[in-house]
Structure 1
Amino acid sequence: MSPADLDFLLFLQDGVISRRQALRHLTEKAVRHRIVSGRWQAIHRGIYLASGGPMTVPQRRWVATLAAGDGRMALLGGPSALAVLGMRGVDTQRIHVLIGASRQHRQLPPGVVAHRTRRVPIEDQHRMGRPPCTMPARSLVDAAQWARSDRDAAAIIAAGFQQRLVAAVDMAPVLERMTHVKRRPLIVEAVADAAGGAESIAEMDFARLCRHHRLPEPSRQVARLDPAGRRRYRDVYFEPWRVHVEIDGAQHLEVASWYADMRHHNEIAIAGEILLRFPAWIVRHKPDEVMAQVRAALLAAGWTR
């Protein structure tokens, strides 16, 4: 192969190359010369960096996928795949890779986390990713099941929908295949909330929660579509005390939606009213915490028990 082929491979892989790949283009002597001369760095067993500087985040991803794949390419998964796919706000400190369930354990570079899986269906593979990674829907499910807490899992599902990385139609077949995934009921719930198709907040009946906690019933409960077309339950309103409660299925990370919300909140504040906001997951799973805050707001506004 020509030197141009090697240069192109290094360009595609952000300057990272495995020994197996290098020997397709160079002799062993030529590889050793590049390392001894300092042109290449030996980053990990059988993995080289074709420069002398510190590694960038993209280069760390390539090192991870080549090291975990034993010179070939393992798939990045979960939050690492989401970062490659353009999702904002995901953890880039640790790099997550998928390896075969029967793959012999080997030492990986610092900060690389390997997750064993029986197989990754071809429809869940994004082989054109740089580096190769799982498809958005599979990545989101894995990120949720690997999250540190249920709250983080629900938040990352909401963020994936809000950033338009996935739609409900993308998530359904992945969840059908992954029947034993950790936190599956929670993930299904979070998908329904973010997609706006389950009307879960209406089913939960905020007024019933208020009665259970011996709070006054809200005057009205109104569903509306936000600027991005998502269903949001707004104006759970305690009219005598001018207290609003908003329950969101998805969090807002886009500038336009963020400003629209800020403007709405400002309008409520200007009118001298109180606004409380809760994600749907918290209302469903921690209702006591939510009702305690609603109670405090009502008391501050003049309600007496």
Structure 2
Amino acid sequence: MVREGWIRQVAAGQDGLVCREQALGYGYTRHEVDNLVTSGRWQSPARAIYLPQPVWAVKPSRRQQVRAALMSLGPAAYAVHGTAAELHGIAGLPRSDEIHVGLPGTAAKRARVGQPDVVLHQLGHPAGSLVSLDGLPATDAIATVGDVILRVGRYPAVSVLDSALNRGLLVEDDLASIAHQIRRRRGAIAARGYLAEADGRAQSPLETRTRLRCVDGRVPPDALQLEIRDDDGYLLGIGDLGWRAPQVIAEADGQAPHTLPDAIFTDRRRQNRLANAGWTILRFTWQDTLDPAYIPWIVRQALATSRHR
């Protein structure tokens, strides 16, 4: 019982995980550890890494899976690419079970990956571009975003850039640093174009995608996060995308925040205020952004109607 208490205390500082060496150091034998895993009383999310809780009681969280991969691959391992973006809280990439881990050349060659979802990258980022994110080593925001935009298409790349800027993880000057960092790397020419389209005023990947559809359809908005006020200066609402002269705004309606009862009530009252002030309100969902022609067509019709009116 004493050793169980000690092992749980150690695990508490490691997202609930312990490594094999730690278990042996607190009095468990290799045979006991193997039996605990075989019986299901302990879980093994990665090679020689354990979650000392029964399989029927709890499932390892995403964070525990990432930490398990890093612990299993040794002290030189760190999160990179999409996994580093996830740890930073940068949005814009599709959901994935993959865990991207970087290791310097010689360490990568010796590494034994025990998780099917772990993608090992033979990388050597300088120490100055590595940070600790709540105890998990990862590339910093500049290196992470630079690595990501070289590997993905335009829409997710610009969404990642917008998210990092909006969250304050990057500032405008960092975009030049990223351009310098990625020079001569595969995909750099396209990535420099993505950097030119970044706009930190976008508050979600859906807003970014909606904006890019409008740009591609030759009806770009002339304002983002447009504040609309009445003659007395009272704020009637804020439009995600705006066309000021024809008085048209577009809202990017994410499923989660706009389906709650309070949000629905607030959205309706705000829309009524804007409509009474002469503004046309368009609403777009993620599904709408999948059709390249739909959003530009709707916007173009609204602009034409407003000008005619």
TM-score (norm 2): 0.61
Give distance in 2, aligned partners of 1:233 and 1:247: 7
Once the 2 structures are TM-superposed, how far is the Cα of residue 276 of structure 1 from its aligned partner? 5.1
Once the 2 structures are TM-superposed, how far is the Cα of residue 14 of structure 1 from its aligned partner? 1.5
- Identify the match of residue 173 of structure 1 among 152, 177, 193: 177
Give distance in 2, aligned partners of 1:287 and 1:56: 36
Give distance in 1, aligned partners of 2:163 and 2:292: 22
Give distance in 2, aligned partners of 1:178 and 1:34: 45
Which residue of structure 2 lines up, in the alignment, with residue 32 of structure 1? 31
- Identify the match of residue 292 of structure 1 among 292, 297, 302: 297
Larger deviation, residues 83-92 vs 56-65: 83-92
Which residue of structure 1 lines up, in the alignment, with residue 154 of structure 2? 150
Partner SS for 2:245: strand
- Identify the match of residue 85 of structure 2 among 82, 85, 92: 82
Which residue of structure 2 lines up, in the alignment, with residue 44 of structure 1? 46
Identity of aligned residues (%): 21
Tell me which amino acid in the other structure corresponds to 1:155. S
Contact 2:250–2:281 (CA under 8 A) maintained in structure 1: yes
TM-score (norm 1): 0.62
Partner SS for 1:48: strand
Give distance in 2, aligned partners of 1:15 and 1:157: 33
Does 2:102 correspond to 1:98?
A: yes
Does 2:121 correspond to 1:120?
A: no
Larger deviation, residues 35-44 vs 56-65: 35-44
Once the 2 structures are TM-superposed, how far is the Cα of residue 123 of structure 1 from its aligned partner? 1.8
Contact 2:90–2:164 (CA under 8 A) maintained in structure 1: yes
- Per-residue CA shift, 1:239-297, capped at 9, x if unaligned? xxxx525799xx9x999xx99x968755432335324589xxxxxxx997765333332
User: Which ranges in structure 1 are unaligned for 5 or more consecutive residues?
Assistant: 197-208, 279-285
Once the 2 structures are TM-superposed, how far is the Cα of residue 51 of structure 1 from its aligned partner? 2.2
Contact 1:13–1:131 (CA under 8 A) maintained in structure 2: no
User: Which ranges in structure 2 are unaligned for 5 or more consecutive residues?
Assistant: 203-214, 229-239, 285-290
Once the 2 structures are TM-superposed, how far is the Cα of residue 158 of structure 1 from its aligned partner? 1.0
Once the 2 structures are TM-superposed, how far is the Cα of residue 138 of structure 1 from its aligned partner? 2.1
Does 2:144 correspond to 1:139?
A: yes
Contact 1:85–1:136 (CA under 8 A) maintained in structure 2: yes
Count residues with an aligned counterpart. Answer: 257
Tell me which amino acid in the other structure corresponds to 2:79. L
Once the 2 structures are TM-superposed, how far is the Cα of residue 125 of structure 1 from its aligned partner? 0.4
Give distance in 1, aligned partners of 2:82 and 2:227: 27
Once the 2 structures are TM-superposed, how far is the Cα of residue 151 of structure 1 from its aligned partner? 0.8
Once the 2 structures are TM-superposed, how far is the Cα of residue 7 of structure 1 from its aligned partner? 5.2
Q: 1:266 to 1:101 in 2, by over 3 A?
A: farther
Contact 2:46–2:69 (CA under 8 A) maintained in structure 1: no
- The RMSD of aligned alpha carbons is 4.7
Which residue of structure 2 lines up, in the alignment, with residue 200 of structure 1? none
Give distance in 2, aligned partners of 1:47 and 1:223: 47
- Per-residue CA shift, 1:162-203, capped at 9, x if unaligned? 222322244443442232263421342244x3279xxxxxxx
Tell me which amino acid in the other structure corresponds to 1:141. G
Tell me which amino acid in the other structure corresponds to 1:33. E
Contact 1:66–1:73 (CA under 8 A) maintained in structure 2: no
Partner SS for 2:119: strand
Which residue of structure 1 lines up, in the alignment, with residue 18 of structure 2? 17
Which residue of structure 2 lines up, in the alignment, with residue 185 of structure 1? 192
Larger deviation, residues 130-139 vs 2-11: 2-11
Contact 1:16–1:47 (CA under 8 A) maintained in structure 2: yes
Q: 1:43 to 1:7 in 2, by over 3 A?
A: same
Contact 2:146–2:181 (CA under 8 A) maintained in structure 1: no
Contact 2:79–2:139 (CA under 8 A) maintained in structure 1: yes
Once the 2 structures are TM-superposed, how far is the Cα of residue 75 of structure 1 from its aligned partner? 0.9
Contact 1:84–1:130 (CA under 8 A) maintained in structure 2: no
Give distance in 2, aligned partners of 1:128 and 1:292: 43
